[in-house]
Amino acid sequence: DTGVSQDPRHKITKRGQNVTFRCDPISEHNRLYWYRQTLGQGPEFLTYFQNEAQLEKSRLLSDRFSAERPKGSFSTLEIQRTEQGDSAMYLCASSEYGGGTGQTGELFFGEGSRLTVL
Amino acid sequence: AQSVAQPEDQVNVAEGNPLTVKCTYSVSGNPYLFWYVQYPNRGLQFLLKYITGDNLVKGSYGFEAEFNKSQTSFHLKKPSALVSDSALYFCAVRDIYGNNRLAFGKGNQVVVIP
């Protein structure tokens, strides 16, 4: 399968624990995005990378959240000291960047990592 | 900031009837517009996009969407709905002026009744 893969698909944790999600994008895509989706809402942008550089972060990304993409390939999203309000689906997406030809904009999403904080 | 509105929470349609899911957008310049579909406990699947050119865009699974600049709308349509089209549909917009994030609407639940 050459799509975006996310791991784990489901995570149940107790409040205060740390969790980490991993995303493997489509191999030729140099842009990687993290979104959060809560029940009944559309995905909300968290952050994005172009190669290994984190170029934009949403105000939703509190200090307890950190994302990395150390080699410009896979990415991790860590949540420290989880709170019940962090319960959500965390979606990863990747896209190509057209460079001088412009941006394609089409995001390919993974299946998501569902977090439940008890 | 760019945004989209999907005014209806749920759209019910009989199988075989035309399906329309409404979306209006707000951006500071020309928009890139997208439709995605989400099945339960799954990620989002791309359906179609409008970048430039013809206002009628054709996409996957028989869906199409019409871009209307004067009404700032990008409604999703399918001439004949199938039960398997029952899912959550999201409209999204991106501003072409350097902002790379997609802004999603809250989604529309489509229920196709056999």
pLDDT, one tens digit per residue, over B35-50 is 999 998 788 999 999 9
Strands A113-117, A10-13: pairing is parallel
Asked whether the beta carbons of residue A107 and residue B96 sit closer than 8 angstroms, the reply is no
Interchain contact, A108 vs B36, CB within 8 Å: no
pLDDT of amino acid B20: 97
Nearest alpha carbon to residue A105 among B58, B103, B62: B103
Torsion of CA B56, B60, B63, B69, to 10 degrees: -30
CA distance B43 to B100: 20
Q: Is there a contact between A46 and A54 (Cβ–Cβ < 8 Å)?
A: no
Average pLDDT on A2-14 reads: 94
A4 CB neighbours in chain B (<8 A) are 43
**Cα–Cα distance between B42 and B51 in angstroms, integer?**
26
> Given a cut of 90, is residue B73 above it in pLDDT?
yes
Confidence (pLDDT) at B48: 94
Rounded CA separation B50/B90 (Å): 14
**How far apart, in whole angstroms, are the C-alpha atoms of residue A111 and residue B39?**
10
Calculate what percentage of chain A has a pLDDT beyond 70.
92
Cis peptide leading into residue A8 (ω within 30°)? yes
Q: Which residue has the higher pLDDT, A107 or B18?
A: B18
**In chain B, which residues have their Cβ closer than 8 Å to the Cβ of A33?**
101
Q: Quick one: pLDDT at residue B96?
A: 64
Which is higher by pLDDT, A103 or A74? A74
Region A87-113: mean pLDDT is 80
pLDDT at residue number B101:
77
pLDDT surpasses 80 at A102: no
Q: Which two tokens stand for residue B45?
A: 């699947």
> Closest residue of A to B31, CA-based?
A105
Q: What is the pLDDT of residue A100?
A: 46
Stated as kind and residue range, the H or E segment containing B23 is: none
Mean pLDDT score of chain B, rounded to an integer? 91
* Residue A99 pLDDT exceeds 80: no
A residues 24..43 contacting B (CB < 8 A)? 31, 33, 35, 40-43
pLDDT category at A101 given cuts 50, 70, 90 is very low
Q: Name the residue with tokens 């994005």.
A: A48
Where is mean pLDDT largest: A2-6, A71-75, B71-75?
A: B71-75
Tell me which residue in A33, A44, A111 faces B42 most closely, judged by beta carbons: A111
Q: How many CB atoms lie within 10 A of CB B43?
A: 23
Copy the structure tokens of residue A93. Answer: 């997406």
Residue B28, SS3 per DSSP: coil
- Chain B, 29-48: which have a CB under 8 Å from a chain A CB? 32, 34, 36, 41-46
Q: Is the pLDDT of residue B88 over 50?
A: yes
| DSSP reduced 3-state for A95 | strand
Q: Residue B2: pLDDT band by 50, 70, 90 thresholds?
A: confident
Residue among B35, B25, B33, B37 nearest B52 (CA): B33
C-alpha–C-alpha distance, residues B95 and A14, integer Å: 39
pLDDT grade for A17, boundaries at 50, 70 and 90: very high
Is pLDDT at A54 greater than 50 in this prediction? yes
Longest dimension (CA), chain A: 47
Contacts of B101 (CB under 8 A, 6+ apart): A33, A45, A48, A56, A58, B94
Residue type, A43: P
Kindly report the average pLDDT of chain A as a whole number: 90
